[in-house]
Structure 1
């Protein structure tokens, strides 16, 4: 049973489309092939054909997704050959900031979406990587029960 007063206020609002940063993020990233292309760039794969091969996406869909990600500032094209013109794709700062999101999705998938993970990530401390979400101010774990919805400062 949910007894959180902080977030329950969201359910009590009049029903209308709610402006939301999550919805805005999904407009940019919410397609499977976009996230898989970002995954590959995070693995150090930068060439179009390799990204297509490792993800299984068709070339026309990948080209479309990469154009959208470039327009959104998530990836950048870098030319590596003039004749013929060929480009690599690299994550921008905004793209690199998606690493915790991808790690969290991967961890969720390992637990809930597959019978057995295809690979395991190990941190350089030697242990299997487990991502936790903690408050940067107090260091405590983030749970739904601890959240309160507030308007942004200055409104």
Structure 2
């Protein structure tokens, strides 16, 4: 009787590959957090966004993958330039949180920049004392939207 590793079915192999990618991202995040203080002083982190853009282009759903890649890289380069220019203006805790979010599962300067902008906007609202409310709620003093009435002609299933 032969004892050894069984050949994995394609689905199992794909699941292992995803697991390994997540593990790699987690390790990268851990290493990044260890050197966060150093990275914070130097500016925005250097990321391999070309891989992310290639995969996004391949996943594009039938469009021109080369055009999608080119557009993605332009967006990433623009976001990186803005991050570099404004890096010292961002709070260290916001930078750290958003770097962690922007490197996993796929590295993206656009994700980091969007995260920072959202943190800044929420902080500005909180400083002005604007009350937070659930998504879809009417602002204070505004009339509430009327409830949606079921269609009288619809037949129940």
Superposition TM-score tier, normalisation by shorter sequence:
under 0.3
Structure with bigger helix share is 2
TM-score, length of structure 1 as denominator length: 0.20
Structure with bigger strand share is 1
